């Protein structure tokens, strides 16, 4: 089989079609174009128009960052702006994110980029990180490593096996959507993390109570200095973004799964 040239529009288009597990007939039907025309686009015999690049990107649900790459490969300028989260141009994004994170206090909430790196957090998050190896807290803090690495929070996650399976399944689905090679590397790394000795045998731990949502969600059960806390995690993304950085940003919130956790967090926040 010939290697796909991802530097050409034809190669990138074909790679995304295969990533979505679609045949040429499937994609042609979705795009309402002839299979012959799609075949010509994938072999380079035909050159796409700008509108066709965007139309096929929509059909394939290509992320904004990769849509820019498709446009460039097709000979067009990228149309989706991208700003570094730390740049002055991202002040509006940062202000909106900070407002959301602060509104979730006294519950932990943070924002992460497409590679699970933490870019912002509210005042409660640092209080949950006692005992974590300083190396894992060096920026950029990767949340997958922080959660699952033996020198991170792993030794304090009561339901470690359950939580690890949940995070890896989520990462696996993200890789299917983005085809991001860096995420694949992160997945392979995390799969090889050994279970910390302090939670050895956690696979035999009975399911933990998550309050009214027990049996419906995977909780995070964390041992802390203020007791065992039980959380339900939620993920929020911005709707209909047209800027790359914002489209890749996720807000992670840990909500109390029981009354005791909520009370403990309110007591903790009162001391700030």
Percent of the chain topping pLDDT 70: 91
Q: Clarify whether residues 113 and 221 are in a common domain.
A: yes
Residue 79 within any structural domain of the chain: no
Please tell me the distance from the alpha carbon of residue 263 to that of residue 246, in angstroms, as a whole number: 33
Residue 81 within any structural domain of the chain: no
Domain count for the chain: 2
pLDDT at 198 (0 to 100): 64
Please tell me the distance from the alpha carbon of residue 111 to that of residue 118, in angstroms, as a whole number: 6
Instruction: State how far Cα 217 lies from the chain centre.
Output: 18
Kindly report which listed range (27-41, 101-115, 236-250) carries the lowest average pLDDT score.
236-250
pLDDT digits (tens, 9 = 90+) for 132-150: 999 999 999 999 999 999 9
**Residue 3 reports pLDDT greater than 60:** no
Q: What is the mean pLDDT of residues 231-259?
A: 94
Q: What is the mean pLDDT of residues 194-223?
A: 66
Residue where a domain terminates, one of 40, 74, 108: 74
Q: Clarify whether residues 118 and 160 are in a common domain.
A: yes
pLDDT at 116 (0 to 100): 97
Please tell me the distance from the alpha carbon of residue 62 to that of residue 29, in angstroms, as a whole number: 17
Q: What is the mean pLDDT of residues 75-98?
A: 90
CATH number at 39 reads: 1.10.260.40
Task: Decide: helix, strand or coil at residue 235.
Answer: strand
Q: What is the mean pLDDT of residues 107-112?
A: 97
Q: Clarify whether residues 238 and 103 are in a common domain.
A: yes
Residue 93 near residue 101 (C-beta atoms within 8 A): no
Confidence of residue 209 (pLDDT cuts 50, 70, 90): low
Mean pLDDT of the chain: 90
Q: Clarify whether residues 128 and 247 are in a common domain.
A: yes
Is residue 44 left, alpha or beta, with left meaning phi > 0 and alpha meaning psi from -120 to 50?
Answer: left
Q: Please provide the DSSP assignment of 59-104 as one string.
A: HHT--HHHHHHHHHHTT----SB---TTSGGGHHHHHHHHHHHHHT
Q: Clarify whether residues 39 and 133 are in a common domain.
A: no
User: How many other CB atoms are found less than 10 A from the CB of residue 238?
Assistant: 16
Residue where a domain terminates, one of 25, 48, 74: 74
Q: What is the mean pLDDT of residues 212-230?
A: 83
Confidence of residue 84 (pLDDT cuts 50, 70, 90): confident
Q: Which helix (H) or strand (E) holds 14?
A: helix 9-19
**Residue 207 reports pLDDT greater than 60:** no
Locate 227 and state its tokens: 């007791």
Q: What is the largest CA-CA distance in the chain?
A: 68
Q: Clarify whether residues 117 and 230 are in a common domain.
A: yes
Residue 39 within any structural domain of the chain: yes
Q: Clarify whether residues 47 and 102 are in a common domain.
A: no
The Cα-based distances of 253 to 29, 65, 135 in angstroms read 40, 25, 24
Residue 190 within any structural domain of the chain: yes
Task: Decide: helix, strand or coil at residue 133.
Answer: coil
pLDDT at 206 (0 to 100): 46
**Residue 204 reports pLDDT greater than 90:** no
Kindly report which listed range (9-18, 88-97, 181-190) carries the lowest average pLDDT score.
88-97
Q: Clarify whether residues 103 and 139 are in a common domain.
A: yes
Q: Clarify whether residues 68 and 190 are in a common domain.
A: no
Q: Clarify whether residues 28 and 141 are in a common domain.
A: no
pLDDT at 187 (0 to 100): 98
pLDDT at 211 (0 to 100): 56
Q: Clarify whether residues 132 and 160 are in a common domain.
A: yes
Q: What is the mean pLDDT of residues 53-66?
A: 97
Identify the domain containing residue 46 by its residue range.
9-74
Q: Clarify whether residues 119 and 146 are in a common domain.
A: yes
Strand partners, 109: 253
Residue 196 near residue 160 (C-beta atoms within 8 A): yes
N- to C-terminal Cα separation, the chain: 61
pTM across the whole model: 0.87
Confidence of residue 41 (pLDDT cuts 50, 70, 90): very high
Instruction: State how far Cα 2 lies from the chain centre.
Output: 32
Percent of the chain topping pLDDT 90: 80
Instruction: State how far Cα 127 lies from the chain centre.
Output: 23
Spell out a b/e string for 179-197, using b for 16 or more CB atoms within 10 Å of the CB, else e.
bbeebeebbeebeebebbe
Mark out the alpha helices in 104-203 (DSSP H runs): 143-148, 160-178, 181-191
Residue 41 within any structural domain of the chain: yes
CATH number at 103 reads: 3.30.450.180
Confidence of residue 90 (pLDDT cuts 50, 70, 90): confident
Phi, psi (degrees; rounded to nearest 5) at 112: -135, 155
Locate 69 and state its tokens: 């790459």
């Amino acid at each position: 089989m010939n290697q796909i040239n991802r530097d050409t529009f034809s190669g990138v288009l074909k790679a995304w079609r295969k990533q979505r597990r679609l045949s040429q007939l499937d994609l042609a039907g979705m795009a309402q174009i002839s299979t012959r025309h799609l075949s010509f686009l994938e072999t380079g015999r035909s050159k796409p128009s700008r509108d066709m690049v965007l139309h096929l990107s929509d059909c394939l649900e290509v992320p904004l960052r990769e849509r820019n790459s498709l446009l460039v490969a097709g000979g067009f300028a990228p149309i989706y702006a991208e700003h570094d989260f730390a740049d002055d141009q991202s002040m509006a994004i940062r202000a909106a994110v900070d407002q959301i994170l602060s509104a979730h206090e006294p519950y932990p909430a943070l924002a992460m980029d497409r590679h699970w790196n933490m870019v912002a957090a509210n005042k409660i998050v640092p209080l949950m990180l006692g005992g974590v190896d300083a190396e894992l807290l060096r920026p950029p803090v990767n949340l997958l490593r922080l959660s699952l690495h033996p020198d991170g929070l792993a030794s304090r996650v009561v339901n470690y096996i359950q939580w690890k399976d949940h995070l890896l399944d989520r990462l696996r689905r993200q890789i299917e959507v983005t085809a991001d090679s860096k995420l694949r590397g992160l997945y392979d790394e995390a799969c090889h993390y050994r279970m910390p000795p302090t939670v050895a045998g956690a696979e035999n731990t009975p399911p933990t109570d998550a309050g009214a949502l027990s049996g419906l969600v995977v909780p995070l059960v964390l041992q802390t200095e203020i007791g065992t806390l039980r959380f339900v995690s939620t993920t929020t993304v911005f709707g209909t973004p047209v800027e790359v950085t914002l489209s890749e940003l996720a807000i992670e919130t840990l909500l109390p799964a029981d009354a005791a956790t909520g009370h403990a967090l309110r007591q903790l926040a009162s001391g700030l």
